[in-house]
Chains A and B, each alone.
Chain A
Amino acid sequence: SAVISQKPSRDICQRGTSLTIQCQVDSQVTMMFWYRQQPGQSLTLIATANQGSEATYESGFVIDKFPISRPNLTFSTLTVSNMSPEDSSIYLCSSATSSYNEQFFGPGTRLTVL
């Protein structure tokens, strides 16, 4: 199993600013994913980030708002840009060694936008 760390664990940000969330995996993985989860709700996939290619965004999420980097097989970042209170949520990254394998999740980043 992969062990994933995320930074920061939580942050309170002002409207209009940007926050970059880092996700580090303790082993090389093919696929990394970014999710958003509102308290008490299910997980919504933002994008899939594979090393060496552009991230693939889900409907309702765009690169200008959520730029993603995947510089190597153990690291990815998600930036939440030009934040508004509606962006307040928990952001989770996960990893998988292949398309059909289980995903391992990081502890999440709790973001509050004022």
Chain B
Amino acid sequence: GQQVMQIPQYQHVQEGEDFTTYCNSSTTLSNIQWYKQRPGGHPVFLIQLVKSGEVKKQKRLTFQFGEAKKNSSLHITATQTTDVGTYFCAGQTDSWGKLQFGAGTQVVVTP
């Protein structure tokens, strides 16, 4: 079955540093979504990527979808304490809306 793998599972970042989290699927995806979950909160939608090779930016966040539509990455520049949380990628392949979530990358930021 479809499997979405995400690494690293844990990322400790100094404030101001950059980091990247990676997502890989064993199956070609129709789209990939990224969510952020703050400690004690619920997942909040960040972005959706649909096209092969697509790159989208949201301020300090850059999202990429691989050419083969099997991998994706989230790169955050100049990390701030507000970036703390767990970032999940979620891939989708079939038509009835099932999202396959990755394990998540828990980000801890030290000042």
Please give the residue numbers on chain A whose beta carbons come within 8 Å of chain B beta carbons, in ascending order: 1, 31, 33, 40-45, 48, 56, 58, 92, 94, 96, 98-108
Contacts and interface: CB of A to CB of B under 8 A. Distances in A.
Contacts, number: 52
Contacts of A104: 45
Can you list the 6 inter-chain pairs with the closest CB atoms, starting with the nearest?
A99-B97, A102-B45, A105-B42, A43-B101, A42-B101, A105-B43
A102 B48 contact: yes
Interface residues of B, number: 22
B95 interface: yes
Contacts of B78: none
A99 B42 contact: no
Given A99-B95, A100-B31, A42 B44 contact: no
Interface of B: 30-31, 33, 41-45, 48, 50, 88, 92, 95-99, 101-104, 106
Contacts of B95: 99
B96 to A, nearest CB: 6
A1 B42 CA distance: 15
Nearest to A96: B97
A48 B97 contact: yes
A11 to B, nearest CB: 17
B44 A99 contact: no
Nearest to A105: B42
A56 B96 CA distance: 10
19 contacts: A40-B106, A41-B103, A42-B101, A42-B102, A43-B101, A44-B101, A45-B98, A48-B96, A48-B97, A92-B43, A96-B97, A100-B31, A100-B50, A100-B97, A103-B43, A103-B45, A105-B44, A106-B42, A108-B42
